[in-house]
Amino acid sequence: MTRLIEAHGFTNRVLGWDAWLDIVPLANATPEQIAVLEESHPKAKESDYYLFLVHQPEILRQRSAAFNAIMYAPGGLPRAERELASTVVSRVNGCVYCASVHAQRFEQLAKRDDVIEQVFNDPVTAGISEREKAIVQFSIDLTLEPGVVEPRQLRVLREAGLSDDEILDLIHSIAIFAWANRLMLNLGEPTGL
């Protein structure tokens, strides 16, 4: 059903992830830690990623609240376009694990994978419509050059048809993957490659 796409070390295959330092064994978790795991993700109790981050439960609680509000809230930027931005940011930052997860989510939501193949091959030229190209370009620029964000860059998004509410959702989706990539890339590594 799903077509395998692999390029430059990126893949849309399902991967695992292992932490490089000691996780909190579930049997030792406090009631607060258990509650935060349950708020964070349906499979957090089986995941090295969450069992490592739960060493700091209040920080994880707020991170998960931000992440889930950005990626799953109804209305605004279509969820597939949020996943596209996440995949582009992950591709640019070199986060193979995040790129795999969010490429799969894009494909599930959009029922196509053409732009994922383009993003894996060369993000700079990716996008099958003007709107998609504008989303991809802003995702690259805000990721690589956060110190020089100009109103004209947002005007390009408006001209491609995004409302201000959609632009806000796009800014959030790009920024939250600056956060997510740095946890997945720097605290452990993907397995199953």
Partner 1 sequence: MTATYDPTTDIVDRVAGLIPGSSAYVTRHRRDKVAVATQLSYEALFDPHLADLTLTERLLVALHACTLSNAPALGAHYSAQLAAAGVNIELIDQVSQGAIGLIGDPRLLAILTFTGTLIEKPVDGGEAALKRLPAAGLTTPAVVALAQLIAFLSYQIRLQAGLRALQALNVPESA
Q: Which residues of the shown chain bind partner 1 in the complex (CB under 8 A)?
A: 20-22, 32, 52-53, 55-56, 58-63, 65-66, 69-70, 73, 76, 93-95, 142-143, 146-151, 153-155, 158, 164-165, 167-169, 171-172, 174-176, 178-183, 185-187, 189
State which residue, 26 or 183, has the beta carbon closest to partner 1.
183
**Minimum distance, C-beta of residue 44 to partner 1, in the bound complex (Å):** 15
**Pair 140, 92: CB distance under 8 Å:** yes
State which residue, 80 or 168, has the beta carbon closest to partner 1.
168
Tell me the two tokens of residue 47. 């995941």
State which residue, 59 or 128, has the beta carbon closest to partner 1.
59
**Minimum distance, C-beta of residue 18 to partner 1, in the bound complex (Å):** 10
**Minimum distance, C-beta of residue 30 to partner 1, in the bound complex (Å):** 12
State which residue, 22 or 27, has the beta carbon closest to partner 1.
22
Q: Which residue has the tokens 């940011």?
A: 89
State which residue, 121 or 153, has the beta carbon closest to partner 1.
153
Residue 184: closest CA among 105, 103, 102, 97: 97
**Minimum distance, C-beta of residue 159 to partner 1, in the bound complex (Å):** 12
State phi, psi for 152 to the nearest 5 degrees: -65, -30
DSSP character at residue 6: E
**Cα separation of 149 and 164, whole Å?**
16
State which residue, 14 or 178, has the beta carbon closest to partner 1.
178
**Cα separation of 59 and 57, whole Å?**
6
**Minimum distance, C-beta of residue 37 to partner 1, in the bound complex (Å):** 14
Residue 78: closest CA among 8, 148, 161: 161
> Which residues are CB-neighbours of 174 under 8 A, at least 6 positions away?
85, 89, 138, 139, 142, 143
**Minimum distance, C-beta of residue 108 to partner 1, in the bound complex (Å):** 23
**Cα separation of 20 and 133, whole Å?**
37
